[in-house]
Amino acid sequence: MAEELIIEQSATKAEKYKSLLPQIEALIYGEEDVTANLANIASALKYGMDFFWVGFYLVKHDELVLGPFQGPIACTRIALGKGVCGTAWEKAETIIVENVDEFPGHIACSSDSKSEIVLPAFKNEKVALILDVDSDQLSDFDEVDREYLEQLIKLIEKFL
């Protein structure tokens, strides 16, 4: 396992993702423990992409429960259909929110969070977890984030 991530800070967002994804693949190679892998992925995304908050919510019974994350403390449980994460779980699709204040029912864990992208990962055709990435800037996520984070979700689904 590599001891540190190598990301060129002056690179474009797409270039950073392109460099980061193979490093994440190497980081989780040969490790099957879900918590260990999610913890390292959260750290790799936070420090590789300089995100404000990045973490996972795991589907447990009828709610989402906070899993490994990096950033300020966050709410621990989210019901189906609530907030952006609960909506992405219910719809089983990626959601990009340009301004969280305009998203009905957004759950404000931190008042500094301004925009976000939330993606579901599947196990046995059911949503098993949610990847939540928050920014302290408005409109910080776009189709580039969707493309590369959906590639990351495919890597995650291999060890779920």
By the rule CB under 6 A, 107 interacts with ligand SME: yes
The four Cα atoms 60, 76, 43, 144 give a dihedral, to 10 degrees, of 80
| Residue 153 near residue 24 (C-beta atoms within 8 A) | no
Find the part of the chain contacting ligand SME (CB under 6 A) among 30-38, 107-115, 121-129, 148-156. Answer: 107-115
Separation between Cα atoms, residue 155 and residue 84, nearest integer Å: 23
Interaction of residue 135 with ligand SME, rule CB under 6 A? no
Q: Which is closer to ligand SME, CB of 15 or CB of 93?
A: 93
| Pairing outcome for strands 126-135 and 53-60 | antiparallel
Q: Which residue is nearest to ligand SME (CB)?
A: 83
Which DSSP string corresponds to 84-111? Answer: HHHHHHHHTS-EEES-GGGSTT---S-T
Binds ligand SME (CB under 6 A): choice among 48, 67, 68, 83: 83
Query: Nearest-CA neighbor of 45 among 57, 36, 35, 55?
Result: 55
* DSSP letter for each residue of 26-71: HHHTT---HHHHHHHHHHHHHHHH--SEEEEEEEETTEEEEEEEES
Contact map string, positions 42 to 81, toward ligand SME, x by CB under 6 A = -----------x--------------------xx--x---
Comparison of 37 and 113: residue with beta carbon closer to ligand SME: 113
| Least separation in angstroms between CB 76 and ligand SME | 10
User: Which C-beta is closer to ligand SME: that of 85 or that of 149?
Assistant: 85
Residues at the site binding ligand SME, with contacts judged by CB under 6 A? 53, 74-75, 78, 83-85, 106-107, 109, 113, 116, 132, 134
